[in-house]
Amino acid sequence: MSVQWFGDSILDKVRKAAMRGVIDGTESVIEEGNSMIMDGQKTGRIYRRRGVEHQASAPGEAPASDTGRLVQSARTEYEPADLSGEAIWSTDYAEDLEYGAANMAPRPFARPALANKKDAITAGIEGEIAAVLK
């Protein structure tokens, strides 16, 4: 009688499945954050710039899109060896919006986006792994 070990193959499939879940989850955080910026209700002051009326966000709300640069700067980065992904908004002012600055209260969007998607990300990773183990 012989026993065959397929552990390395199984582990490779599980890692690839988990990474698919990480990628899907990270992309969903970008989508959620951008949606909060573009579509979320804003209650800040209304002003005109270059003949266009704009409603700003109030402290604590996701930032209101003005030029679209923040949303356009969104990208993801992955580290398959660590089974990790990162949602990044890379404008020079993204961090100030998220955490606030000396002259501005925070307008968080990235952390709330992750919090909104946390359960779905976990379920997605679990689902990908369960599918390859069937």
Q: For residue 126, is it within any domain?
A: yes
Q: For residue 10, is it within any domain?
A: no
The whole-number pLDDT of residue 47 equals 92
Task: Say yes or no to pLDDT of 1 above 80.
Answer: no
Q: For residue 40, is it within any domain?
A: yes
Q: For residue 79, is it within any domain?
A: yes
The whole-number pLDDT of residue 6 equals 78
The DSSP result for 115-133, as a single string, is HHHHHHHHHHHHHHHHHHH
Q: For residue 105, is it within any domain?
A: yes
**How does residue 77 score in pLDDT terms, banded at 50, 70 and 90?**
very high
Domain hosting 37: range is 16-133
- pLDDT tens digits for 23-47? 999 999 999 999 999 998 899 999 9
**How does residue 4 score in pLDDT terms, banded at 50, 70 and 90?**
confident
52 phi/psi in degrees, rounded to 5: -115, 135
**How does residue 5 score in pLDDT terms, banded at 50, 70 and 90?**
confident
Q: How far apart are CA 71 and CA 60, in angstroms?
A: 18
Give how far Cα 53 sits from Cα of 39, 49, 66, 129, Å. 16, 7, 10, 49
Q: For residue 6, is it within any domain?
A: no
Q: For residue 2, is it within any domain?
A: no
Please count the other Cβ atoms lying within 10 Å of the Cβ belonging to residue 106.
16
Q: Token pair for residue 88?
A: 């990044």
The total number of structural domains that make up the chain = 1
Q: How far apart are CA 67 and CA 36, in angstroms?
A: 15
Give the rounded percent of residues in the chain with a pLDDT score beyond 70: 100
First to last CA, the chain: 25
